[in-house]
Amino acid sequence: MTKSIANSNNQALFNRYSFLVDRIVRKLANKYPSHEDMEDMKQYGYIGLIESIKRFQPEKGVKFESYASIRIQGTILDAKRKDDWVPRSVRSRVKEVKYVYQDLKSKLRREPTSSEMAQEMGMTVCDFMKLQGRLDTRSPLRLDQEDENGATLGSIVPSQEANPEEKSEKNALVSKLMNASATLGEREKQLIQWYYYDGINFKEISVRLGVTESRVSQLHSGICKRLRKRIAA
């Protein structure tokens, strides 16, 4: 490649690296066979490739193919979250969730917590959180993912035990965790979204945020510490 991608022919680069879109779409189609349409994913993938060509900075020492692959997949997954790619059985509960939310908000004169929403809907907090995740077309939050410093969101919440009292305590703490997470900044929320929900590693996140992998690890550890303090308060 030339020293600066800005001096290259964009169409030639697009043609040269369009195979990345096909490769990533095939991988994602296998992962989400019942939800994604391959042609739609390709269109989003091409948008990601075009953005990669426009924004690539070779001076950062990252190979274009690696950078573009991350951005293409990110563009498709972002579109997946925004689009209405959820089962009808889940969509049918959207109106119920909205109704309960508005009803509780009116009665309590504040935002209802996950625990209050779950109780009103006759569900456990964990089941309600799973429903929220499915409505957002996201996977359940993986609390056990650990960074290089040993920090995890799961360390904030005790492990699941057979004792009903301990289960109840865990549900309450998970609810506190979700409420505390709402106070995070936009970049912090995005980091948690990518790492815990989308399974994107720190190396890929560092490229997206334009920082070092070590800095991403520091940010993650800091978030976990702050959430522990808020939950303990």
Taking only the tens place, the pLDDT of each residue in 177-230 is 656 666 778 888 788 777 766 667 788 888 888 888 888 888 888 887 777 776
Architecture category of domain 141-233 in CATH: Up-down Bundle (1.20)
Amino acid letter, residue 165: E
Distance, in Å, from the CA atom of 220 to the CA atom of 157, rounded to the nearest integer, reads: 17
Amino acid letter, residue 31: K
> Mean pLDDT in the chain?
71
171 pLDDT exceeds 80? no
* Residues carrying CATH 1.10.1740.10, the chain: 5-82
Place of tokens 């790619």: 85
* The model's pTM: 0.38
Quick one: how far is CA 112 from the chain centroid? 23
Rounded to the nearest 10 degrees, what angle do helices 10-17 and 38-55 cross at?
140
* Residues carrying CATH 1.20.140.160, the chain: 141-233
* Residues carrying CATH 1.10.10, the chain: 86-137
Q: What is the pLDDT of residue 19?
A: 92
CATH 1.10.10 for domain 86-137: yes
Most confident of 32-41, 102-111, 127-136, 184-193: 102-111
CATH 1.10.1740.10 for domain 5-82: yes
Torsion angle of alpha carbons 186, 191, 197, 198, nearest 10°?
120
